[in-house]
Structure 1
Amino acid sequence: MNDEEQSTEWVGQPRSDEPAPISSAEQDAAALSSDQHPLGTPGRRFDRRSPFMTGLHAAAGVLVTVGAVQVVLAAHQALLLVVAALFLAIGMEPAVSWLVRHGVRRGFGVTLIFVLVLGGLAAFLWAAITPLIDQGQALIHHAPDTLRHLEDRYPVIHSVSDRFHLDQKVQQGTGSDLERLSQGLLGAGKVVFGAVTSTVIAAVLTAYFSANFPTLRAYIYRLFPHERRPRAILIGDAIFAKVGGYVLGNLLISLITGVLTFIWLSAFEVPFPLVLAVLVAVLDLIPLIGSTLAGIAIALVALTVSLPVCIATVAYFLVLRAVEDYLLVPRIMGRTVQVPAVVTVVAVLIGGSVLGVLGALLAIPIAASVLLLVEELLIPRLDKPKVELTKQSA
């Protein structure tokens, strides 16, 4: 007696008092069961074009859409961590693949990269955390005095400050907001705990995605029909290459830019060089807009030293930007990411308004992926004459 037959003996016994239709169905069910098909063979499919099935599909689609939207809204913080970890894993993929091609096991390669990254980050924090905190607090605390000093020395800044009420805005930004943020150990503890927890979760997810990336890649491509799977693999791998090249290359370029900025500011004794260098490195991750904002901030701080130092710093940032665009980007990223400047600005603005800083960081690889899909799928179909499209569909 197999499991299915035994299970029928354990359900609803005895059955002598069952109605006649049920007893007849019981006999038919016993005759339908076989060794090859213990639970019977599937019956005739429902008519999908019937009014009942059409209404059922429509209602199910509405319920699924509403449920998906509610899930996304309720779990948007966790989903953002998952998306960020996935992009980081794709960014690590060029380095991991290089290690695998040279005979290193994938798990050990991922571990090695994590150890190097975390070790470098720990060494930086151990050496720079104290001056970084001190300079950051001093920069915020002396911001109103610095602005008044610039207004006294340069009438143009004084007129601009009066027109846009910069004094009040700086006072509000460095006064009441920071006081509310720093009130109580509980609030500060929640902020620190949340940041540490998010970082740990993102790191664990990144390690998992990176270690299992071939499996995830295979599952993604299995979602495509068999006849379209080869084309999907070619396009998907091209998208992965663009995203990975951009993420890894952007991190390296940002690190180089931050180091060069720190050397320049230290050489000319510009205040708060470490904080400003870290600010430049972080903002440089955001294309076009980030480096421009960083240059303006550095120029204003350099203006407190002297006007020649400010002019020299502006010139240095222009040269650094040219070196980044024409030397570092082609050599580090190659030609993996090619997005027009107009599309870059629009993508960064839209991504920043939707997902904040994370959206601005992910805007360029997403835009590059969308452009690739448009060029490979939509444009060729639009360029074909209508007769060819009719023949293909037939």
Structure 2
Amino acid sequence: MGQPHSDDEGTVAEAEAEAAEISTPEQPLGQVGKRLDRRSPFFVGMAAAAGVAVTYGLIQLVLGAGQILVLIGLALFLAIGMEPAVSWLARRRFPRWLAVTTVFVIAFAAVGGFLAAAIPVIVEQATALVTKAPQYLRQAQDHNTFLGRLNERFHLQQAVESSLSSGSGLTGGVLGAGKAVFGIVTDTLILIVLTIYFVADLPRIRAAMYRLIPHSRRPRAILIGDNIFAKVGGYVLGNLAVSVIAGALTLVWLLIFGVPYAALLAIAVAVLDLVPVVGSVIGGVLVSLVALTVSLPVALATVGFFIVYRLVEDYLLVPKIIGNVLKVPALVTVVAVLLGGALLGVIGALVAIPVAAAILLLAEEVLYPRLDQG
């Protein structure tokens, strides 16, 4: 190439002469040279710059796809929660596809039956609430009523009006509500589809995860991983059962004392109770405030009911239904829920306890033994 060569090429000419000497019929391109020194400042600087660039790119990717990643994680969480039921059917000679179909048909039938029974009552009671709103407003402005004195002391009406006026008018409020509803419906459909796929392909996902672990450590990783999956599954089913009990007992209490909007409040309590630690407290405060519209003694009795129920849930229901599966200390539970709620909101608080249980298991089985041997 570049013939004829001349002495003006300097050191390149010297390298070309040496290249002609090292080229042989057996190795026409010469022998492989020495490996570059990876400790040289150039390579250290390039590796550091590449690491920073890759880390920054990953952070931007996570931030950009944060909502989708949350949906994927929640779908995987729900799929692991449904896996015990699917595996139970599979062990009884159900094909995998039939077991998955059976579980989802039962789940959809239960949710559909619940909505068919609850929606008419919710609509009726929500309509009654809207109808009686002016009456409650007049009571709030009347200083001779208990609600009026409460409003005068805590400025409840002013807080509600300021929150309502913080939007951009009626049109903006309607458009914002419509956008929120559309987003919720879309996210729910995506979550359902992802959960179905995750449940159907969970054996292959599980096998692919374990294939990433070295062969010598794979058996122990399988034992630890399956234990974590069992904890998550037991938590999902147990938390759902506890929430149903909370909603049912609340409905019975409200019907006995004639508190309005009993079905609506009971459903709210059941949904809020899904969030550990703080959910039942928020539900109890909400119901007690509504009970004030009946009378002060009924409101105080409702407060007492939720205090007693909270003790029963913490010391009887949760230990019996969930505690034997997770075995997470109370302090770790509170801290995990607070951190999960601060990072991911309601979803973070919902998944915080099983994540904490998994971290504790890994620490006890992997971290502590290594530290004790160190």
Residue in structure 1 matched with residue 199 of structure 2 by the alignment: 210
User: Of 345, 358, 371, which residue of structure 2 is paired with 1:356?
Assistant: 345
User: How far off is 1:146 after superposition?
Assistant: 4.0
Residue in structure 2 matched with residue 80 of structure 1 by the alignment: 70
Residue in structure 2 matched with residue 130 of structure 1 by the alignment: 120
- Secondary structure in structure 2 of the residue aligned to 1:336: helix
Residue in structure 2 matched with residue 93 of structure 1 by the alignment: 83
State yes or no: 1:247 paired with 2:236: yes
State yes or no: 1:158 paired with 2:149: yes
Distance 2:130 2:50 in 1: 54
User: Of 282, 295, 302, which residue of structure 2 is paired with 1:313?
Assistant: 302
User: How far off is 1:179 after superposition?
Assistant: 8.4
Distance 1:166 1:272 in 2: 21
User: Of 290, 312, 315, which residue of structure 2 is paired with 1:301?
Assistant: 290
User: Of 345, 352, 376, which residue of structure 1 is paired with 2:334?
Assistant: 345
The aligned length equals: 353
State yes or no: 1:103 paired with 2:93: yes
Distance 1:54 1:362 in 2: 40
**CA distance change for structure 1 residues 152 and 253 in 2, over 3 Å: closer, same or farther?**
farther
Which residue identity is paired with 1:306?
S
State yes or no: 1:68 paired with 2:58: yes
Residue in structure 1 matched with residue 215 of structure 2 by the alignment: 226
**CA distance change for structure 1 residues 229 and 85 in 2, over 3 Å: closer, same or farther?**
same
Residue in structure 2 matched with residue 331 of structure 1 by the alignment: 320
Cα contact 1:93–1:210 (8 A) shared by 2: yes
Cα contact 2:326–2:357 (8 A) shared by 1: yes
- Secondary structure in structure 2 of the residue aligned to 1:339: coil
- Secondary structure in structure 1 of the residue aligned to 2:328: coil
Unaligned stretches of 5+ residues in structure 1: 1-15, 33-41, 390-394
- Secondary structure in structure 2 of the residue aligned to 1:271: coil
- Secondary structure in structure 2 of the residue aligned to 1:335: helix
**CA distance change for structure 1 residues 178 and 215 in 2, over 3 Å: closer, same or farther?**
same
User: How far off is 1:381 after superposition?
Assistant: 3.2
**CA distance change for structure 1 residues 205 and 19 in 2, over 3 Å: closer, same or farther?**
farther
Which residue identity is paired with 1:327?
L
Which residue identity is paired with 2:293?
T
Distance 1:112 1:55 in 2: 57
State yes or no: 1:190 paired with 2:174: no
| 1:193-245 deviation digits (Å, cap 9, x = unpaired) | 22111111101111111111111111112222222222222222222121111
| 1:146-201 deviation digits (Å, cap 9, x = unpaired) | 4774774449x836x4454322112334x436885765865444333221111111
Distance 1:163 1:55 in 2: 64
Cα contact 1:181–1:188 (8 A) shared by 2: no
Residue in structure 1 matched with residue 255 of structure 2 by the alignment: 266
Sequence identity, in percent?
56
- Secondary structure in structure 1 of the residue aligned to 2:258: coil
Task: Tell me whether 330-339 or 200-209 shows the greater mean CA deviation.
Answer: 330-339
- Secondary structure in structure 1 of the residue aligned to 2:81: helix
Cα contact 1:144–1:171 (8 A) shared by 2: no
Distance 2:109 2:73 in 1: 24
Cα contact 1:352–1:360 (8 A) shared by 2: yes
Cα contact 1:300–1:310 (8 A) shared by 2: yes
User: How far off is 1:377 after superposition?
Assistant: 2.5
**CA distance change for structure 1 residues 361 and 184 in 2, over 3 Å: closer, same or farther?**
closer
Which residue identity is paired with 2:338?
L
User: How far off is 1:291 after superposition?
Assistant: 0.5
Residue in structure 2 matched with residue 35 of structure 1 by the alignment: none
Cα contact 1:352–1:358 (8 A) shared by 2: yes
Distance 2:168 2:244 in 1: 32
| 1:356-384 deviation digits (Å, cap 9, x = unpaired) | 111111111112222222222333333x2
Unaligned stretches of 5+ residues in structure 2: 6-15
Distance 1:131 1:320 in 2: 25
